[in-house]
Chains A and B, each alone.
Chain A
Amino acid sequence: MSSIEIIVFGPLLAAIVAGLGQNFIGKTAAKVITTGGLFLACALSWPIFLGFLTGNEKAYVEPVMQWVQSGALKFDWELRVDALTAVMLVVITTVSALVHLYSWSYMEEDPDQPRFFAYLSLFTFAMLMLVTANNLVQMFFGWEGVGLASYLLIGFWYKKPSANAAAIKAFVVNRVGDLGFMLGIFGVFWLFGTVSIPDILAAAPEKAGSSIGFLGMRVDTMSLLCMLLFIGAMGKSAQLGLHTWLPDAMEGPTPVSALIHAATMVTAGVFMVCRLSPLFETSQFALNVVTIVGATTALFAATVGLVQTDIKRVIAYSTCSQLGYMFFAAGVGAYGAAMFHLFTHAFFKALLFLGAGSVIHAMHHEQDMRYYGGLRKHIPLTFWAMTAGTLAITGVGIVGIGGFAGFHSKDAIIEAAYASTAPWGGYAFFIGVFAALLTSFYSWRLVFLTFFGKPRWAQSEHIQHAVHDDHHGHDDHAHDHHGTHDDGTAGYHPHESPWPMLVPLGVLTLGAIAAGYLFKYDFIYAEEGGTAFWAASTLYFNEHLIHAMHHVPLWVKLASTVAMLTGLFTAWMMYIRKPGSAHTLAGHFEPLYKFFLNKWYFDELYNLIFVKPAFWFGRLFWKGGDIGIIDRFGPNGSAAAVGLTSRLAVRMQSGYLYTYALVMLLGLVAAISWFMVQAR
């Protein structure tokens, strides 16, 4: 077995053993097998990635098994390893291994742990199948596989109605995107006669001048195919319009949010656009749409993130917004920068989510930041980890010297948008800078509300329960709690998380600090490494754009830093200097505040135009169509016409059977005698 096969199929095997064999091997063994499998996969992935960085690895395809062959349509199970895959391999296996480890403590009290770990490993397998796909259908397999795992994990606590609703929503909304993806694959197949990715990319430029029929219209061929595929990417990566499932997905356990809904699965859309970048490069229209959708999502999600109070939802909207950055980077042609941001984002966003999990763990499942405050002293390690994550996402650094991960990747995107000649580059640039301001504000707001100020825990029901239970458990020292806590703590003592949770935080903190600086040359610089690195992949690396990026004016380079400082300062003013001013401000701009708070009313709108009508039409077709029309004028009508209704019950049991047999028999007799006559 080659190492790539172990990386991909190891987690599948672990998932099957842990999931189906949990009763035989026990809880601990299930956890050991899955976690061990992922650490092994991770250990095998880094050498591949480093091999591509140093130029020692060559891209190759490892055949596994035949899958489908139908006429000219042929696709097999195969594992493609190239530089683009290698980036995803380390992202997926590293974050997944750390999340597995983290879950040992986070899920400790859950009775269903083997199932949880099996799902996590199953997810990892599907994600790996997605990024190693050499044809569009295997990519679709991974695409739907991660959708299944996401569905199972969002609904992991399946007794909760809200978790079930969120799980279904995630699956169904993703399927809307998948409809586009599937049609895209069909279109690609009939145009190119293949679904193999390298073959399509090679053939794409030839077809660039053509038009094709679609739904009775005549459209530009490549624009159509790219748009259909991009609809799939929009669903998986929660872009504006198909984003509604992502915030709700926070119903799942927090390690799931870190792995699936921040670091890996949601970036699949970005990966797809980068994987197929030579295809997208044949359609200016598609690139424009990618840019506009990406930039608008970056702005939209950031505005909603400003006002959310649930710590996980703030980070979820932040993810949605950062994915928007990645898309508009791809849209303006900076695929290397998009992948770079995907890479650094995986580390610092997983860090933020796992840090949030650590806070939630310490705060007895309270997720509302309004009831946090002053946690810095109680959970200092979590505080420092979250701070590192925030420094990374807001892009703290000094131009010309270096900085945290996001400083390198996000600023590269903003510069690329400015440097690009793409028609919508300017739009993307201004939104990118403005959204950076908003990002800085909501990220620091999160830190300030959680770790600074005075504790506001007393109002939290979760904390009240915890304290209450605690008193009943330890009656001997109950007396020093009751009624004596006017400091807002309600007598609750948050504890720092145990080491299986702190180790992943530590590792990811290193990533958030250094991932940008260490790898920037290979991802986004041309001669310094990028050209050679990306040459071993399908990614379209635009050297001209890279050169243009080096020569953007200084104000452009400083713009995002200024935006970051402005956001930080505003957050500091509103939440540390003058606590309560946020409330006043919200009062001043109430309609806007409500609009953001209610997430631009997308859920309400969709409910009104899709969900409710679906049920309404379902009932109409059933009661009105099937029963009211078809049955009434069909079988019931004919029964009435021949006056059978009253006698039906009596005659049915035996009568009709004989009638039926008789009709058949008579028919046959007639037929045979007719032939006898004919034959003569």
Chain B
Amino acid sequence: MNAAELPILSIMLAVPLLGAVACLFARAEMARIIALTATLFNLLLGVWLWASYDPAGAQWQFVESAALFGPIGWKLGIDGISLLLIMLSVFLMPICIGASWRAVTERVGLYMASFLLMETLMIGVFAAQDLMLFYIMFEAGLIPMYLIIGIWGGKDRIYASYKFFLYTLLGSVFMLLAMLWMIQQAGTADIPTLLNHDFPPEAQTILWLAFFASFAVKMPMWPVHTWLPDAHVQAPTAGSVILAGVLLKMGGYGFLRFSLPMFPEASAQFIWLIFGLSMVAVVYTSLVALVQDDMKKLIAYSSVAHMAIVTVGLFTFNQQGIEGAIIVMLSHGLVSGALFLCVGVIYDRLHTREISRYGGLSINMPKYALLFMLFTMASVGLPGTSGFVGEFLSLAGAYKVSTWATLIATTGIILGAGYMLYLYRRVAFGEQVNADAAAMPDLDNRELWLLAPIAAAVLWMGVYPESFLAPIRRDVATIVDRIERAAPAGDSKLKEHDKTTAKYRVQAHGGEHDKKAEGAAH
């Protein structure tokens, strides 16, 4: 049966929402089971959705439309890009529930409800086809996250959620104003229609900046990134997984869905800004990651560096760069999620994130060490893992636009290797210096079941990325077609028959060898 025969997107929004309501009134154990069932069911629906999605079919599939009030409509529909981001969300969700199974003991019902609500809102963000609907989902998604950090967070959760709040609020106000102006101008809130609406270039600049304010914070881009390390450090493990795994992708999705196709001229005009901030971010945050003593902070900073590769890729205006950026988003969602789970595993045992409290875990936790190594390598972008495919494509795309930006952004592969291997060494290698760390048991079955599927996905995406590239190929091409008119020329222009560099070439090849050989022979 084809999923298109049902309002499948609405069902996928409703399942977790109903689950959330049920969780509110359930006891702890029951709430866990409801949450797991609901998320697993949604995962199944997601798989069905993916299987029913036709990469060669209409641009927007599974479209649903119903009038709400005024200009706001209940319009849902997905293209390949939305599909993959929805898949990422529904894939990580059961893992988050599993990761919280024993770690969360207080107000379990509310906790599970928050996660389920978040799932609804995340899917909503990626499926919304109405500007206002998108806005509601986009902003409301922060409320459950805010609760998760604020209630089940660590010692400094107050400060962390304050920062989180302040940054996001600032951005979203500008975005809301811009959206209202757009609806008024274009006379519609329908996203597919707006995608082909040409706003005047002068207006584009302002609109682009307003959206940028919101998306740059979400990414997060340097220098509005400082909320992220604090939010991660304070959030419970599953909160970090969702934050890094899906919430950070909303910024990239926003750039891709709105900034680029709706304001191509303005996007081209601001390449210098995006590339400049991204170049700073790669070097700056990588170096900061190198000196961290707190595992979660280290991974949080590394996320900023990886997201900078996404922004570089998105603004290359070519197929490779944008496809690469999407793959980096998916890969980072899996890998950083897995890395936060890895931190969670040992945090649950020793209740500290301080790197120096561990050491020599390869000895007592070999399974853990192996999986942690795999995710470390994926984060470093080793070919054969998901990290490589995305990074390689984004940077390949970037080379066309700016060799400087590519050079600086590619130094991330050196610095990334530095901080990740340095982290791994301090945690898993060396002598067992702390008796309590040395006594920690290896992964139990539950933990193995959380990490193994991610490991499989990481390798799948690294070895056969076609499964993930096929659904987005046509949609990226559509965007590239749309923005091509503004595409930058790039700084690696070829000049045929250039005499000025002739001295570097081999002249009249073989001739000289000939002479010498003959001369010697006679």
Is A241 part of the contact surface with B, judged by Cβ < 8 Å?
no
B324 / chain A contacts, CB cutoff of 8 Å: 70
Identify 14 new A-B residue pairs, CB closer than 8 A, beyond the known A208-B506, A631-B226. Answer: A67-B463, A137-B383, A144-B388, A164-B430, A182-B395, A190-B399, A190-B400, A282-B505, A421-B513, A548-B520, A615-B291, A618-B290, A660-B146, A660-B169
A626 to B288, alpha carbons, bound, how many Å? Answer: 9
Flag the segment in B54-62, B101-109, B251-259, B414-422 that touches A.
Answer: B414-422
A545 touches B513 (CB 8 A): yes
Q: Digit string of B65-89 for contact with A (CB within 8 Å is 1, else 0)?
A: 0000111100000000000000000
Contacts A145-B384, A663-B169, A671-B132 hold; do A285 and B504 have CB atoms under 8 A apart? yes
Q: Is the CB of B393 within 8 A of A73?
A: yes
A469 to chain B, nearest CB (A): 22
The answer to whether B506 touches A282 (Cβ under 8 A) is yes
Q: Are A614's CB and B162's CB within 8 A? A: no
Measured between beta carbons, the chain A residues less than 8 angstroms from B520 are 547-548, 551
A218→B501 CA distance, assembly (Å): 8
CB interface residues, B 391-423, toward A, < 8 Å: 392-393, 395-396, 399-400, 403-404, 406-407, 410-411, 413-415, 417-418, 421-422
Cβ-defined contact, A144 with B383, below 8 A? yes
Contact A635/B226 with A164-B425, A171-B421 known, Cβ cut-off 8 Å: yes
Question: Chain A residues with Cβ under 8 A from B284's Cβ?
Answer: 621, 625
Query: Cα distance A284–B318 when bound, in Å?
Result: 33
Q: How far does the Cβ of B351 sit from chain A's closest Cβ, in whole Å? A: 23
Determine if B99 is an interface residue (Cβ-Cβ < 8 Å).
no
- Greatest chain B CB density within 10 A among A158, A419, A663 is at A158
- The one of B150, B290, B396, B507 that contacts A657, using a Cβ cutoff of 8 Å: B150
Residues of B within 8 A of A151 (CB): 421
Write the nearest CB–CB distance from A394 to chain B, whole angstroms.
28
List of 7 A-B pairs having minimum Cβ-Cβ separation, nearest first: A544-B513, A71-B319, A551-B520, A211-B498, A186-B399, A285-B504, A220-B501
Q: Do B506 and A284 touch across chains, with their CB atoms under 8 A apart?
A: yes
The residues of A that contact B184 with a CB separation of less than 8 Å are: 678
Determine if A586 is an interface residue (Cβ-Cβ < 8 Å). Answer: no
Q: When the two chains form their complex, are residues A69 and B132 in contact, meaning their CB atoms are under 8 A apart?
A: no
B104-153 contacts to A, CB under 8 A, are 132, 136, 139-140, 142-143, 146-147, 150-151
Q: CB within 8 A of B506: which of A140, A185, A287, A618? A: A287
Contact B466 A69 (CB under 8 A): yes
Docked Cα-Cα span, A60 to B490, in Å, equals: 38
Inter-chain contacts of A190 with B (CB < 8 A): 399-400, 492
Q: B366: shortest Cβ distance to chain A, in Å?
A: 9
Identify which of A512-520, A562-570, A647-655 touches chain B.
A647-655
A668 partner residues in chain B, CB cutoff 8 A: 132, 136
Q: In the complex the two chains form, what is the Cα distance from A551 to B477 in whole Å?
A: 60
Given A208-B505, A649-B158, A653-B158, residue A182 in contact with residue B413 (CB < 8 A): yes
Could you tell me if A179 and B410 are in contact, using CB atoms closer than 8 angstroms?
yes
Return A209 CB to nearest CB of chain B, in Å: 5
Report the tally of A-B residue pairs with Cβ distances under 8 A. 294
Contact flag A187-B399 (CB < 8 Å), given A70-B469, A282-B506, A621-B287: yes
Query: With an 8 A cutoff between CB atoms, is B2 at the interface?
Result: no
B417 contacts A212, CB within 8 Å? no
Contacts of B463 in A (CB 8 A): 65, 67, 77
Query: What separation, in Å, do the CA atoms of A631 and B230 have in the docked complex?
Result: 11
**Could you tell me the distance in whole angstroms from the C-beta of B225 to the nearest C-beta in chain A?**
8
What is the CB-to-nearest-CB distance from B501 to chain A, in angstroms, rounded to a whole number? 4
- Closest chain-B Cβ to A680's Cβ sits at a distance in Å of 11
For A227, the closest partner residue in chain B by CB is B504
**B50 interfacial contact with A, CB 8 Å:** no
Q: What's the nearest-Cβ distance from chain B to residue A52, in Å? A: 25
16 A-B contacts (beta carbon < 8 Å): A68-B465, A70-B393, A70-B473, A71-B319, A71-B320, A167-B421, A211-B494, A212-B493, A220-B498, A283-B506, A626-B288, A639-B162, A657-B150, A660-B142, A664-B136, A672-B71
Interface check A638, CB cutoff 8 A: yes
For B492, what are the chain A residues with a Cβ–Cβ distance below 8 Å? 187, 190, 212-214
Count of chain A residues near B, Cβ 8 A: 104
Q: Is B8 an interface residue, CB under 8 A from the partner?
A: no
State how many angstroms separate the Cβ of B13 from the closest Cβ of chain A: 19
User: Is B163 in contact with chain A by the CB < 8 A criterion?
Assistant: yes
With both chains docked as a complex, state the minimum distance between the C-beta of A458 and any C-beta of chain B, in angstroms.
30
B20 to chain A, nearest CB (A): 16
Min CB distance B210 to A, Å, is 13
User: Which residue numbers of B lie inside 8 Å of A, CB to CB?
Assistant: 69-72, 132, 136, 139-140, 142-143, 146-147, 150-151, 158-159, 161-163, 165-167, 169, 172-173, 176, 180, 183-184, 223-224, 226-227, 229, 284-285, 287-292, 318-320, 323-324, 360, 362-363, 377, 382-384, 388-389, 392-393, 395-396, 399-400, 403-404, 406-407, 410-411, 413-415, 417-418, 421-422, 425, 428-431, 463-466, 469, 473, 477, 490-498, 500-507, 509-510, 512-514, 516-517, 520-521
- Judge whether B291 and A619 touch: CB under 8 Å: yes
Complex interface: chain B residues within 8 A of A189 (CB): 396, 399
Measured in the bound complex, the distance between the Cα atoms of B229 and A529 in whole Å is: 64
Residues of A within 8 A of B425 (CB): 155, 164, 167-168
Of residues B173, B500, B501, which shows the largest number of chain A Cβ atoms within 10 Å of its Cβ? Answer: B501
User: Nearest chain-A residue to B165 (Cβ)?
Assistant: A656
* Shortest Cβ distance from A284 into B: residue: B506
A495 at the binding interface (Cβ < 8 Å)? no
Within 8 Å CB of A167, what residues of B?
A: 421, 425
The answer for the CA separation of A284 and B497 in the assembled complex, in Å, is 16
- Bound complex: CA of A148 vs CA of B373, how far in Å? 11
Taking CB atoms, residues of chain B closer than 8 Å to A171 are 417, 421
Q: Does A617 contact B (CB under 8 A)?
A: yes
Binary CB contact string for chain A from 164 to 185 against chain B (1 if under 8 A, 0 otherwise): 1001100110011011001101
Q: Are the C-beta atoms of A544 and B510 separated by less than 8 Å?
A: yes
Distance in angstroms between the alpha carbons of A151 and B69 in the assembled complex: 61
Q: Mark A271-291, 1 if CB is under 8 A from B, else 0.
A: 000000000011111110000
Contact present for B288 and A672 (CB under 8 Å):
no
Residues 176-231 (chain A) with a chain B CB within 8 angstroms:
176, 178-179, 182-183, 185-187, 189-191, 207-216, 218-223
**What CA separation (Å) do A222 and B70 show in the bound complex?**
62
Residues of chain B within 8 A of A678, CB atoms compared: 184
| A24 contacts B by Cβ under 8 Å | no
- With beta carbons under 8 angstroms apart, the residue of A148, A183, A208, A639 that contacts B377 is A148
Residues of A within 8 A of B513 (CB): 333, 421, 542, 544-545, 548
Quick check: B389 and A652 within 8 Å, CB to CB? no
Residue numbers in A under 8 Å from B142 (CB-CB): 660
- Per the bound structure, the CA–CA distance linking A209 and B417 in Å amounts to 38
Contact (Cβ within 8 A) A622 B291: yes
Q: Does A630 contact B (CB under 8 A)?
A: yes
Contact A161 B162 (CB under 8 A): no
Q: Is the CB of A653 within 8 A of B150?
A: yes
A660 with B226: CB separation less than 8 A: no
Which residues of chain A come closer than 8 Å to B143, judged between CB atoms?
657, 660-661
Q: Does A634 contact B (CB under 8 A)?
A: yes
Please report the C-alpha to C-alpha distance between residue A74 and residue B227 in the assembled complex, in whole angstroms.
39
Q: Name, among B226, B415, B490, the residue most crowded by chain A CB atoms within 10 Å (CB to CB).
A: B226
> Which of A73, A191, A630 is B223 in contact with, Cβ under 8 Å?
A630
A207 to B506, CA, bound (A): 13
State A675–B183 Cα separation when bound (angstroms): 9
Contact residues in A for B495 (Cβ distance below 8 Å): 210-212, 218
Q: Does A679 contact B (CB under 8 A)?
A: yes
B490 proximity list for chain A (CB < 8 A): 213
* Given A183-B399, A220-B504, A671-B176, residue A158 in contact with residue B521 (CB < 8 A): no
A479 within 8 A of B: no
CB-based contact A66/B466 at 8 Å = yes
Q: How far is the CA of A167 from the CA of B72 in the complex (A)?
A: 58
Say whether B411 contacts A179, CB under 8 Å. yes
